[in-house]
Structure 1
Amino acid sequence: MLLTISTTHSPATDLGFLLVKHPDRVQSFATTGGTAYVWYPEATVERCTVALLLDVDPVELARPSKGQKSPDSFSLGRYVNDRPYAASSLLTVALGKVFRSAMKGASRDRPELVDLALPLEIRVAALPCRGGSEIVERLFAPLGWTVTADPVPLDPAFPEWGVSRYVQVRLTGRLKLADALNHLYVLLPVLDDAKHYWVSEDEVDKLLRAGEGWLHEHPAKEVITRRYLANRRSLAQSALERLRAAADELEAIAAPEAVTEQLAEVEAAERRKPLVTFRHEAVLAALAESGATRVLDLGCGSGTLLLRLMADRRYTEIVGADVSSVNLQIAERRLKLDRLPERQRSRITLIQSALTYHDDRLTGYDAAVLMEVIEHVDEVRLPALERAVFGHAGPRTVIVTTPNAEYNVRYDGLANGHLRHDDHRFEWTRAQFAAWADRVAEAYGYAVDLRPVGDLDAEVGSPTQLALFRKAAS
């Protein structure tokens, strides 16, 4: 994979100060799937070009590990593919590692260059595009780039065969280097519409960091967000909510004083809060109310709630359980367990467990949280989950959150029975959730309190609903 960046800024060799890479050296960096090389094919006062070449190790690429997935679902696809040659998410990972300080807009030696718009020319030798040359124009042109995207023929000797899905791309424009690098970081995998690794909630933060200042007003932001997040609907919705919140904040800052009164600012701040934040706050408030110190996070996923629990010293023992070993590996990295002091490390345990089976390791705890979990279980398997959690594990407190299906009409594209996530097996109305909660509470000796989570709509309720189960006094 080859990417070049050129400038005719005078002196052009200032590019080296911005990239923190000396024009007289060839440097190499170990990165995902292979080795990245950086060198300068030309470095004169009039014109300077830096080249980033990612030399992919096909054997390493065919042997996924630690959450990395193979580029194709069938076995031969691991060995016969375009990944060593075509620009993809592998290249963006290398870009983020090799030019990290430049992407952040930092230059220790020449800080005055950071905010300077430079004449830039970027070339990508082979870029896979789902949507052809037109989508390259659609994504880059609104950002100030002049775009040339030439389709690569399947075989020049046989023009009748037509063109491939690859294009040779040339971008020219006058932009800050940090902006240009962040455009590439986001849009290269968007054009490919594929990623070589599992996409989790961390990717939302990466997208918003790299897209700061431009993504919220991009006319194709929905397409960019959806593709960057591997078409995972729940993650895309979360990202778009946060983008809308950022846009609202900018409008509030620019609005006349009469429109930005203190009350309006408070209301806007409440609207801007992502639903996942509302959900975490509601769960943590219920846990604090219960007085629990030893807590289970059942179906912990990639560990977002575990981070919040670890930050609160009242929780002396925390267990994250999930059926997916990949999720547990991601949670382990997110929590940085290998770097924690022993005393902190001893507070948390990650275990692989299926919540529809009795597991003695989950017994004897003060509280259990099932945050956005039950809707991922087939309804016919829910009684097994109930027996395992409320019966066998039997914590004093159980906190369950799940989507409110009635609220879906407030989301674009979710009317007419569509679910919020591809893996959801069902989504309940408030009445259905209340009926289930009452039945479980009566069957296993709990009292239950139902609470809304998120913005409350007078007609359809809140987007998330929470049930707080407490052991009834004997």
Structure 2
Amino acid sequence: MLLTITTTRPPATDLGWLLHKHPEKAQSFALAFGTAHVFYPEAADERCTAALVLDVDPVGLARQQRHTGNELLAQYVNDRPYVASSFLSVAIAQVLGSALAGTCRGRPDLAEAPLPLVARVTALPCRRGGEPFLRKLFEPLGYAVTATRHPLDPQFPEWGESPYFTVELAATVRLADLLSHLYVLVPVLDDEKHYWVSTDEVEKLLRHGDGWLAAHPEKEAIAARYLRRQGKLVKSALAHLGAEDPDADDAAGAQDLAEERLEAKVSLHERRLATVLSVLQATGAKRVLDLGCGEGKLLRLLAADPRFTEVVGVDVSVRSLEIARQRLDRTRLPDSLKDRVKLLHGALTYRDARLTGFDAAAVVEVIEHLDPPRLGAFERALFGAARPRAVVLTTPNREYNVRFESLPAGRFRHADHRFEWTRAEFAAWCEGVCAAFGYTVRTDPLGDVDTDVGAPSQMAVFTRGSTAC
């Protein structure tokens, strides 16, 4: 079985950094069921392709198991050495593990960057659903899907079509996201696994589906097939994904929903959005950015206010942007107001000419999701390059976490938070931004203030020039 990944962003050979495999070397890796080979059919600044070839040993695999009766022949005569299956997922995890995890010590900025990528999988089984199901799985994640179906035997066309496709998936995404999607969805399409499915498979599904599976329209089918239709395991996975909650389709993923429920006792979520909206209104801004807009909760409030003549939402998640658009389409607003809203796919740690010239920007509960080494890049992209006249930024107050009875000591409010700041740490960061980029700042508590630990969240309003807040 063969998987190739191609990028055309110069220098394209940076793909070697992400995969931790040098373009000038061909490498082989022994696996429990065969051998994986990694090499680069092409490696130039303009275009680079990495290939993962998996050579499954069906005889050795069969000898590891005990079978009787009519099963014996099937263990030696099957499609497992030739088609993409759970063997490919295991090879991705073991051979490309660092890339799957999104880590790149030499180039952490590269690991966070969405790249133009094309993945090509030969002989991908699409059982029980065919090409329509294939598209239902990948298109909601933002991929352009090209599928070429293979006949059972070209010499005997009357035998009909096979369930096997050569599939190309094209999108601008992080490499880690592409590999996570393949890791989960290839076995789902094959509808088979080469190993026993137990409770640890639920953890694998949730870990590799983090950030996209909870909002996927086919999450129930994905969970059922990935977990081999074992009822208790499927029910457990769907419960973690929020699928049994009537509001799950409108939640910002299972983890975001958990954070909102945690903060619901202090009525923080809606108050946070209302406060940010009022500050943006007070600036007199006409053109506003919502950076890290997620699924569009603040965008809906901005869209409903005719004082804002242009509203642009930016997020790194294509799926979140799709949900934001669906939410906007469902709002009972005249088209003249909806049409002022634009959605852009982009990362907040990279300079983007599309984001310059705006009056104000909102960054609501976003920076705590960035790895601390990437904060400097975020500061340069927003305060140094985009340079809106006002920036309204909110982040949790870590000191307040002791007031959440259901939150274990030392844990963050959201599983994806990379840090949470105390009030002093937040103030120090704000002052550093002002000194570096020529802004002034005021910081305010957000939510009811506890005399000992402050408010549950904290807000900074950065201004430059004569903007009044």
TM-score bracket, shorter-length normalisation: 0.5 to 0.7
Q: Contact (CA 8 Å) 1:32, 1:94: kept in 2 or not?
A: no
Provide closer, same or farther for how the CA distance between residues 248 and 133 of structure 1 changes in structure 2, counting only shifts above 3 A. closer
Q: Contact (CA 8 Å) 1:252, 1:260: kept in 2 or not?
A: no
The 5 Å alignment of 1:275-354 reads: none
- One-letter amino acid of the structure 2 residue matched with residue 64 of structure 1: Q
Provide closer, same or farther for how the CA distance between residues 155 and 236 of structure 1 changes in structure 2, counting only shifts above 3 A. same
- One-letter amino acid of the structure 1 residue matched with residue 136 of structure 2: R
Provide closer, same or farther for how the CA distance between residues 137 and 260 of structure 1 changes in structure 2, counting only shifts above 3 A. same
Q: CA deviation at 1:247?
A: 3.5
Cα distance in 2, alignment partners of residues 83 and 58 from structure 1: 7
The 5 Å alignment of 1:405-444 reads: none
Find the residue that maps to 1:140 and give its secondary structure: helix
**Over residues 21-72 of structure 1, what are the superposed CA-to-partner deviations in whole Å (9 max), with x where a residue is unaligned?**
000001111113100000000000000000000111121111235xxx88x9
Q: Contact (CA 8 Å) 1:9, 1:47: kept in 2 or not?
A: yes
- Which ranges of 4 or more aligned residues in structure 1 deviate by more than 3 Å? 245-249, 251-255, 262-265
Find the residue that maps to 1:197 and give its secondary structure: coil
The structure 1 residue matched to 2:172, chosen from 174, 178, 186, is 174
The equivalent residue for 2:27 is 27
- One-letter amino acid of the structure 1 residue matched with residue 5 of structure 2: I
Are 1:227 and 2:229 counterparts?
A: no
The equivalent residue for 1:261 is 265
Provide closer, same or farther for how the CA distance between residues 119 and 247 of structure 1 changes in structure 2, counting only shifts above 3 A. closer
The 5 Å alignment of 1:178-257 reads: 178-244=176-242, 247=253, 249-251=255-257, 253=259
- One-letter amino acid of the structure 2 residue matched with residue 135 of structure 1: F
Q: CA deviation at 1:129?
A: 1.1
- One-letter amino acid of the structure 2 residue matched with residue 261 of structure 1: K
Are 1:109 and 2:113 counterparts?
A: no
Q: Contact (CA 8 Å) 1:185, 1:210: kept in 2 or not?
A: yes
The equivalent residue for 2:85 is 88
Q: Contact (CA 8 Å) 1:33, 1:61: kept in 2 or not?
A: yes
Q: CA deviation at 1:139?
A: 0.3
Cα distance in 2, alignment partners of residues 252 and 59 from structure 1: 47
Find the residue that maps to 1:15 and give its secondary structure: helix
The 5 Å alignment of 1:45-64 reads: 45-64=45-64
Are 1:40 and 2:44 counterparts?
A: no
Q: Contact (CA 8 Å) 2:212, 2:253: kept in 1 or not?
A: no
Find the residue that maps to 1:190 and give its secondary structure: helix
Find the residue that maps to 2:207 and give its secondary structure: helix
Q: Contact (CA 8 Å) 1:5, 1:49: kept in 2 or not?
A: yes
The equivalent residue for 1:361 is none
The equivalent residue for 2:163 is 165
Q: CA deviation at 1:82?
A: 0.4
Q: CA deviation at 1:160?
A: 2.5
The equivalent residue for 1:387 is none
Find the residue that maps to 2:36 and give its secondary structure: strand
Provide closer, same or farther for how the CA distance between residues 261 and 146 of structure 1 changes in structure 2, counting only shifts above 3 A. same
- One-letter amino acid of the structure 2 residue matched with residue 260 of structure 1: A
Cα distance in 2, alignment partners of residues 183 and 37 from structure 1: 21
- One-letter amino acid of the structure 2 residue matched with residue 213 of structure 1: G
Q: Contact (CA 8 Å) 2:5, 2:117: kept in 1 or not?
A: yes
**Over residues 447-473 of structure 1, what are the superposed CA-to-partner deviations in whole Å (9 max), with x where a residue is unaligned?**
xxxxxxxxxxxxxxxxxxxxxxxxxxx
Cα distance in 1, alignment partners of residues 214 and 258 from structure 2: 15
**Over residues 416-451 of structure 1, what are the superposed CA-to-partner deviations in whole Å (9 max), with x where a residue is unaligned?**
xxxxxxxxxxxxxxxxxxxxxxxxxxxxxxxxxxxx
The equivalent residue for 1:146 is 144
Cα distance in 2, alignment partners of residues 42 and 249 from structure 1: 40
Q: Contact (CA 8 Å) 1:42, 1:49: kept in 2 or not?
A: yes
Cα distance in 2, alignment partners of residues 42 and 221 from structure 1: 36
Are 1:79 and 2:76 counterparts?
A: yes
Cα distance in 2, alignment partners of residues 182 and 252 from structure 1: 22
Q: CA deviation at 1:231?
A: 1.1
**Over residues 266-312 of structure 1, what are the superposed CA-to-partner deviations in whole Å (9 max), with x where a residue is unaligned?**
xxxxxxxxxxxxxxxxxxxxxxxxxxxxxxxxxxxxxxxxxxxxxxx
Find the residue that maps to 2:112 and give its secondary structure: coil
Aligned length: 260
Cα distance in 2, alignment partners of residues 12 and 61 from structure 1: 37
Cα distance in 1, alignment partners of residues 213 and 179 from structure 2: 14
Cα distance in 2, alignment partners of residues 64 and 167 from structure 1: 30
Provide closer, same or farther for how the CA distance between residues 20 and 249 of structure 1 changes in structure 2, counting only shifts above 3 A. closer
The equivalent residue for 1:305 is none
Cα distance in 1, alignment partners of residues 254 and 120 from structure 2: 35
Q: CA deviation at 1:253?
A: 4.4
Q: CA deviation at 1:157?
A: 2.5
Find the residue that maps to 1:215 and give its secondary structure: coil
Moved more, 237-246 or 138-147: 237-246
Q: CA deviation at 1:262?
A: 4.0
The equivalent residue for 1:8 is 8
Find the residue that maps to 1:217 and give its secondary structure: coil
Cα distance in 1, alignment partners of residues 190 and 173 from structure 2: 24
The structure 2 residue matched to 1:99, chosen from 79, 87, 96, is 96
**Over residues 65-124 of structure 1, what are the superposed CA-to-partner deviations in whole Å (9 max), with x where a residue is unaligned?**
5xxx88x97111001000110110011101110110111110011111011110011111
Any unmatched runs of 5+ in structure 2?
A: 246-251, 270-469
Any unmatched runs of 5+ in structure 1?
A: 266-474
Q: CA deviation at 1:251?
A: 3.5
Provide closer, same or farther for how the CA distance between residues 113 and 167 of structure 1 changes in structure 2, counting only shifts above 3 A. same
**Matched-pair identity in %:** 56
Cα distance in 2, alignment partners of residues 73 and 94 from structure 1: 30
- One-letter amino acid of the structure 1 residue matched with residue 149 of structure 2: P
Cα distance in 1, alignment partners of residues 77 and 115 from structure 2: 40
- One-letter amino acid of the structure 2 residue matched with residue 10 of structure 1: P
Q: CA deviation at 1:4?
A: 0.4
Cα distance in 2, alignment partners of residues 79 and 242 from structure 1: 39
